[in-house]
Amino acid sequence: MEETKIFVVIAVLSTVLIGLASYLFWLDRRVSKMEKEIKNNQN
Amino acid sequence: MSDFFKNNWWKLLGVLLILYSIIAGFLIEVPDLPVIRQSIRNLFFHVVMWFSMMVMFGTSLVRSLRYLSSFELKHDVVAIQSVNVGLFFGILGIVTGMIWANFTWGAPWVNDPQLNGAALTILAYFAYLVLRRSIDEEHKRARIAAVYNIFAFVMLVVFIGILPRLADGSLHPGKGGSPMTVTNLDSMMRMVFYPAIIGWIIIGFWITGIRVKMANIRQHLDNPE
C-alpha cells in the first residue's frame, strides 16, 4: 500500500467527490433560501 | 420518461464517462514509473480538474465577448457563472495537487512555476468576482467585467501555458526541463484520460446551467416588475 502509492489516488479521488458534494450542499442551501423568500412574498 | 432522456441525456453521459474513468482508472495497467509509482493514476482525477477549469474560463471568455458585441445581459450571466464553476475546479485542482505533491515531492507546495502560475490565475479570477461586486449598475458591471475577463484569460494563457514552459526546472512533466510524459503516455491511459476530461466538462456545464437558473431567479426576486 505504502509502496505502490495507490492510497494517494484514493485520497485525491475522495477529495474530488467530497468537494463536489460540498458544493452541491452549498448550492442547495442557496436555492432553499430563495424558495423561502418566494413563499414569504406570497403571504 | 422519453422527455427526460431527451433533455438530460448529456448529463447522464457525463456521469457515465466519469464512472468509467473511475473504474478503468483504477483497473488498467499503467507504466510503473519511479517515485510516482501507481499515483500516476491521478492523471484521471487531478489533471482533469485543470482541463475543466480552463474550459469553464474559456466559455466565460466567449460569453463575455458575445456580451460586448450584443450587450445582452443573458451572456453576462453565463460568463459570471462559468467563472464561478471554473474556480470550483481550480480549487479542487489546487487541493488535490497539494495531496499528490506531498507524497511525491515531499511537500504540499514547492516553488514550481506551474504551481505558482496556477495560483496566480486563480487569484486573477477571484479579482474578477471582487470587481463585479464593486459595481452596482448592471450594464456597466457587465461591460467592465467582460473587458477584465479578456485580460484574465490572457493571464491564464501566460501563467499556465507559456511561463511554466519557458522556465527551467519545473517539476511538472512537459514543462521547462522535465520530459513530457503525456507524449509517451500509452494509448490505454489516453482511453481513460480523454473521456474523464469530457465527463467533468459536462458536469461543469451542468452546474453552470443550474447556477444560471439560480441567478435568474435571484434577479427576479430582487427586481420584481
Chain B hits for A6, CB-CB cut-off 8 Å, are 37-39, 41
Q: Which residues of A touch B (CB under 8 A)?
A: 3-6, 8-9, 11-13, 15-16, 19-20, 23, 27, 30-31, 34, 37-38, 41
How confident is the model over B26-65, as pLDDT tens digits? 999 888 877 888 888 999 999 999 999 999 999 999 999 9
Residue ranges of domains in chain B: 35-222
> In this predicted structure, what is the pLDDT of residue B179?
56
Q: Do A9 and B96 touch (CB under 8 A)?
A: no
Q: What is the 3-state secondary structure (H, E, C) of B165-179?
A: HHCCCCCCCCCCCCC
**ipTM (interface pTM):** 0.91
Q: Measured between alpha carbons, how far is B20 from B32 in angstroms, rounded to an integer?
A: 22
pTM of the model: 0.93
Percent of chain B surpassing pLDDT 70: 93
Q: Do A9 and B92 touch (CB under 8 A)?
A: no
Chain B hits for A37, CB-CB cut-off 8 Å, are 221
C-alpha closest to that of B90 among B56, B64, B62, B60: B56
Q: How distant is the alpha carbon of residue B121 from its chain centre? A: 11
Residue B208 contacts residue B63 (beta carbons within 8 Å) = no
Q: Measured between alpha carbons, how far is B148 from B158 in angstroms, rounded to an integer?
A: 15
Which residue has cell 490565475? B121
Q: How distant is the alpha carbon of residue B206 from its chain centre? A: 14
